[in-house]
């Protein structure tokens, strides 16, 4: 039995990246499920044997070969016998930069991943790349992550991705995986590359078909604004990205990719109210009260705070909104008419809003 560190941990070390989010993945050559279990490892993989180290909880996967038998990334049969070599295992990986292994400080690089790291190339290992549609998303996501290092998608890989779109292989992507890769891309400093790569190969029309053509184009600078957002929260970036879309399109997208409620609600609120907020003080008291009510600003304060961040990133001045929110938040309900408390609260809010509007004139 031989154990090798593989994938992202090796790649990032060679790039000089110290990222606590990069998990350590290991491949085990010359072993079997029974031997791993006898050594105290806990099996977690169902489709192929993956084991957790009882101490570190790091993943150890038996070296494997795979054969395409159906559509999508689940359409594979696996061979995890002891005869599978390290090079055979590395040959099934997506990109050359992810197909480098390390053992006792010695590197094993049968597909010249180090050369592509030095040249800033995202290049597929073999034509087997086209058998797994998730790899289109992963390449786009790696393009976003490594854009600051000057990485580009290799021409031959780009052509292969276009072929995967044309053949319908990309249609087999699952909603959960689309959102997972999208969320990761939005967590990076330069997410624009994710959308540009998908647009360039035509996958955007497959993955986000409900988005409007006006907001989703292949212009080189179309998504650059996302790289200038001084915020690390992917949910906020998600809302900014979708701000120009209709409420109907956003709702449909969120349903299709099954994104968390936090993402959906923030994106919908942003789309519905950003134009209102841009001319906030020009509205009357009733409209402004509706804004605070519909956004649930006084009860869902953390979500409203995120909404205000979205507004700021859209170059909307939120100063007056914050000032009025503060005044509405300190209304003393105990001093209001208890016989019809709901109406009394509304009337008091209207009074506060009206006085505030008058004070700004």
Q: What is the pTM of this model?
A: 0.88
Contact 192, 141 (CB under 8 A): no
For residue 309, give both structure tokens. 């961040």
- Going by C-alpha positions, the residue among 173, 246, 236, 240 that lies closest to residue 204 is 173
CB atoms within 10 A of CB 245: 23
Contacts of 149 (CB under 8 A, 6+ apart): 15, 120
Per-residue pLDDT of the chain (361 residues; tens, 9 = 90+): 999 999 999 999 999 987 666 788 999 999 999 999 999 999 986 667 899 999 988 999 999 887 766 665 566 677 889 999 999 999 999 999 999 999 999 999 999 999 999 999 999 999 999 989 999 999 999 999 999 999 999 999 999 999 999 999 999 999 999 999 999 999 999 999 999 999 999 999 999 999 975 444 444 566 889 999 989 999 999 999 999 899 999 999 999 999 999 999 999 999 999 999 999 999 999 999 999 999 999 999 999 999 999 999 999 999 999 999 999 999 998 888 888 898 999 999 999 999 999 999 8
Q: Nearest-CA neighbor of 142 among 166, 164, 161, 126? A: 161
Q: How far is CA 263 from the centre of its chain?
A: 11
| Residue 32 CB-density burial (10 A; 0-12 exposed, 13-18 middle, 19+ buried) | middle
Residues 6+ apart with CB under 8 A from 114: 14, 100, 107
Distance spanning both ends of the chain, measured CA to CA: 78
DSSP 95: B
Q: Of 126, 131, 64, which Cα lies nearest the Cα of 98?
A: 126
Helix, strand, or coil (residue 216): coil
Query: Can you tell me the distance from the alpha carbon of 325 to that of 328, in angstroms, rounded to the nearest whole number?
Result: 5
- The CATH architecture of the domain made up of 1-119 is 2-Layer Sandwich (3.30)
Give me the residues paired with residue 79 across strands. Answer: 65
Q: Who contacts 160 (Cβ-Cβ below 8 Å, separation ≥6)?
A: 124, 127, 129, 130
Rounded Cα–Cα distance for residues 108 and 90 (Å) = 10
Helix, strand, or coil (residue 296)? coil
* Planar angle of CA 99, 154, 142, nearest 5 degrees: 60
Phi, psi of 88 (to 5 degrees): -65, -40
Query: What is the token pair recorded at 236?
Result: 């906020």
pLDDT of 23 = 80
Residue whose token pair is 């408390």: 341
Tokens standing for 129? 């790349």
Q: What is the pLDDT of residue 67?
A: 75
Give the contacts of 234 (CB within 8 A, at least 6 positions apart): 183, 186, 187
Q: Where are the domains of the chain?
A: 1-119, 276-360
């Amino acid at each position: 039995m031989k154990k090798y560190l593989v994938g992202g941990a090796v790649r990032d070390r060679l790039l000089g990246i110290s990222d606590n989010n990069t998990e350590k993945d290991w491949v085990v050559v010359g072993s079997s499920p029974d031997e791993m279990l006898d050594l105290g490892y806990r099996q977690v993989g169902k489709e192929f044997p993956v084991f957790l180290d009882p101490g570190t909880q790091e993943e150890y996967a038996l070296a494997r070969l795979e054969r395409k038998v159906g559509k999508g990334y689940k359409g594979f049969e696996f061979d995890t016998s002891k005869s599978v070599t390290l090079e055979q295992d590395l040959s099934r990986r997506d990109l050359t930069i992810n197909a480098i292994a390390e053992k006792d400080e010695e590197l094993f690089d049968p597909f010249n991943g180090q050369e592509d790291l030095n040249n800033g190339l995202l290049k597929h290992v073999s034509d087997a790349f086209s058998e797994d549609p998730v790899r289109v998303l992963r390449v786009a996501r790696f393009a976003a992550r490594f854009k600051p290092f000057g990485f580009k998608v290799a021409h031959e890989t780009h052509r292969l991705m276009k072929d995967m779109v044309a053949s319908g292989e990309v249609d087999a992507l699952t909603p959960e995986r689309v959102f997972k890769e999208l969320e990761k891309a939005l967590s990076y400093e330069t997410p624009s590359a994710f959308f540009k790569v998908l647009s360039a190969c035509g996958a955007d029309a497959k993955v986000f078909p409900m988005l409007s053509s006006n907001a989703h184009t292949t212009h080189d600078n179309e998504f650059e604004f996302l790289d200038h957002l001084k915020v690390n929260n992917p949910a906020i970036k998600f809302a900014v990205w979708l701000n120009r879309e209709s409420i109907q399109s956003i709702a449909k997208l969120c349903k299709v990719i099954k994104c968390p409620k936090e993402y959906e609600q923030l994106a919908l609120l942003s789309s519905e109210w950003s134009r209102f907020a841009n001319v906030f003080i020009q509205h009357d008291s009733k409209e402004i009260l509706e804004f605070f009510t519909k956004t649930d600003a006084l009860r869902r304060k953390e979500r409203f705070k995120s909404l205000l961040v979205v507004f700021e990133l859209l170059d909307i001045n939120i100063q007056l909104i914050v000032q009025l929110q503060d005044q509405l938040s300190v209304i003393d309900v105990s001093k209001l008419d208890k016989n019809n408390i709901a109406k009394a609260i509304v009337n008091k809010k209207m009074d506060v809003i009206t006085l505030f509007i008058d004070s700004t004139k």
